[in-house]
Structure 1
Amino acid sequence: MPTGVAIRDPREQLFNAAERVLLRDGPSALTSRAVTAEAGVAKGVLHRHFADFDAFLAELVHDRITRIEEQSAALRDSAGTGTVVDNLTRALTDLFGTAAVAIVALVTFRDGLRARLRRTTPTGVPLLAEATEMIAAYLAAERELGRVAADADLDALAPTLIGAGHLLFAGREGEPPDTEAVRKIVTTVIGGVTRED
C-alpha cells in the first residue's frame, strides 16, 4: 500500500468500504483488514482515526443513523403531498434498500459493538429505533393534517411498519423486493387509518 498519499475523506471512504464488505460477505467477514483492503488504504489509516475497530463500527452506525435523521426531515416535509401509502412505501424502500439491514445484522452479531452503542441508544435496536421514530413523526404530521385518523395508534403502527419492512428486505440475496411488495405491507398496516381520497 503506498504511503504519503492524501486521502480526501478517510472516514467516509472507510465507512463505504465497510458497507461494501458487509453487503457482499456478511458481518463475520468484517474486519479492520477487510475494510482497509476494500478501501485501498493502509491498515494504519483506520487506527489513526478510530481508537479500535468497535469504535470504528460504532461511528459507522452513528453515521448511518444521521442519514436516517436527514431522511426523517424529508419524510416529514412530504406530509400532505402525494399519498401516505406512497410516501411510506418510498421511505421504507429508501431505508432498507441501503445497507440498513446489513448494519442491523452487524449490531446483532458483535457483542462489543452492541455494548458500545448501548451508551447512546439504551433501548431498541440501533438504526431500527431511529427508523421507527422517523415513521412515527411522519404519521403524526399526517394525523395533524387529517390524512391519518386522530385515534390511530402511532406507537403500534410505526414499529409494525419498520418490523415488516425489515423482514421483507432481510435475508435476500440479489434483488430487493419490488415496490408493490412494499406497498402491500404499507397498505395492510395503515389501510384502516388513512383518510385520503
Structure 2
Amino acid sequence: MEYLEFGCRVLLGGVFAVSAGSKVYSRTAFTDFTAATARLTGARVARARQLAVATVAAEFAVVVALIVSALVPWGFAAGIGLLAVFSAAIVRSLRRGQRAPCRCFGASNSPLGPQHVARNAALAAFGVLGLATGLSDTAAALDLGPACIVAFAALIGVALVARLDDLIGLFRTTATS
C-alpha cells in the first residue's frame, strides 16, 4: 500500500508542480494566466491577479505538502479541495457559455470543456486513493527499485495529464470541406 500512496504523491505533486511552474516560468505566462483567470471568473484585472497569485501559491503548497512526510495527508486534502474548486469554476464557466482557454498547464489554446472536469475528477480520485492508503499506521521504508518504477509510471501520468489537450486534439476528428 505504501507504493500506491507514493505513486499518488508523485502523480499529484508532479501535476501541481507542472501546473504552477507553467504559470510562472515567464512574465508572459503569468500575464496570460491572469487574463484567463479574469475571463474564467469574471473578475476585474486586479482581483484576477490576486486570484492567480493565490492559485499558484496553493499549487506550490500542495507540492510541498506532498513532499514533507508529516504533511502528506494535508497535501492530499488540499489537492482534492483545489481540484474541486477548479472544477466548479470550469463548470460555472461552461454554463455561462464561456469556453476560453484556462491556461491550466501553460500556453494551451484549447477551450474549456467537459474533459477538463473529468481530468480534475480523475486526479481527485487519485488524491482520495492516496489519502486512504496513507492512513494506515505502517510506515515502511520503500525499496529503491520498486519506488523508481512507481515514480516513473506516475511521471508518465503527469506528462499525459499535462498534455491532455494535445492528446485529445490528435484524436479529435475534424470535418472536411
TM-score scaled to structure 2, two decimals?
0.33
Structure of higher RCO (CA pairs closer than 8 Å, 6+ residues apart):
2
Structure having the larger proportion of residues in helix: 2
Give TM-score scaled by structure 1 length. 0.30
- Tell me which structure has the larger Cα radius of gyration: 1
